[in-house]
Structure 1
C-alpha cells in the first residue's frame, strides 16, 4: 500500500438547481469567498490557477490546477493537479428533487515532504482533516448559493 495515495468521495446535497451549483463550482477564483479552508486562488491563465488550502491541521497545501474535462450539460467539471497534491479531482453535479447533488471525487498522491514523512501515523488525521474541510465547503457553498438567490 502506498500510504501517500488517497481517494476521496464527498456528496453534497444542496438546495439549489444543478446549473447554479455547476456555475459556482466552475468559478474557482471565487472559492475563497465561500470555502473557509481555501485561503487563496491565483489565476495563472484561462485554464489554470494555484490553489492554497489549509484546514484544521497546521499546514498549507499549494496545488496548481489545470482544466481537464468540462461538460456543463452532464454536470462534469474536472481538473488535473500538480504540486503538494498530484492527481485529479472531479465534480459531478446532478439534479436531485428540488435541489441538486454535487459529488466530489479525488485521487491524489501527496508530494509535500513533511506529509510524506508522516504518512503512516498521520493518515487518519489527514483523512479526518479532509472530511472537515469538505463539510465546511458544503456549508459555505449552500450559504453562498442562498445569498445569490436572495440578491436576484
Structure 2
C-alpha cells in the first residue's frame, strides 16, 4: 500500500465556535465543499459523537472517485476531532482548531494508505498527481468553508 501524510492549515476570519460547528457537521460539507459528492451517516455514535460513522464519496480533480468511512474516535469541542478511515483509504485524520483573536486556525492532518489496487500500482509514478489532487481538494474546502461562513480566508496552505 502507498502511504501518505498530509498536513493542511487554514486561517479563517471567523470565531472558533462557528468554524468548529461547520467542521463538526460533516453531513453538511457537500453544501460548501466542492468535490465532496455526498456524505451519509451510517451510525450515530454516543451523545458526544464518539463512534459516529460517516461514509464520504469524493470526486477528485483528476477524475477518479474515492469512497471511505470515517469513524469518530475522539471529540474535544471546540478544538479537536479525530477519526479513523476505512475504505479506498485506510488510516486516520485529525482536525485541530485554535483561536487567534478573531481568526480561527484550522490544522488538518491526514495519514492514510491507499487500498485500491490501481492506486498502489500507479503510486510510484502518479504520487505527485495524487498529492496535488489532495492539496487542491483541501484548498477548495478552505475557500468553500470561508464562503459558507461569509468569512475571509486568510491562508490555505500545506503544513
Same fold at TM > 0.5: yes
Correspondence for 1:90: 94
Instruction: Name the residue aligned to 2:19.
Output: 21
Q: CA RMSD in A?
A: 1.2
Counterpart of 1:145? 149
Offset at residue 21 of structure 1 (A) = 0.7
Unpaired runs of at least 5, structure 2: 45-51, 152-159
Partner of residue 61, structure 2: 56
Q: TM-score normalised to the size of structure 2? A: 0.87
For residues 3-152 of structure 1, what are the structure 2 equivalents within 5 Å? 4-46=2-44, 47-73=52-78, 75-146=79-150
Q: After TM superposition, what 4+ stretches of structure 1 lie above 3 angstroms from structure 2?
A: none
Alpha-carbon shift at residue 63 of structure 1 (Å): 0.5
Is the partner of 1:36 in helix, strand or coil?
Answer: coil
Q: Which has the higher strand share?
A: 2
Query: How many residues of Structure 1 are paired with residues of Structure 2 in the alignment?
Result: 144
Question: Greater relative contact order (Cα 8 A, min sep 6): structure 1 or 2?
Answer: 2
Q: Which runs of no fewer than 5 residues in structure 1 stay unpaired?
A: 148-152
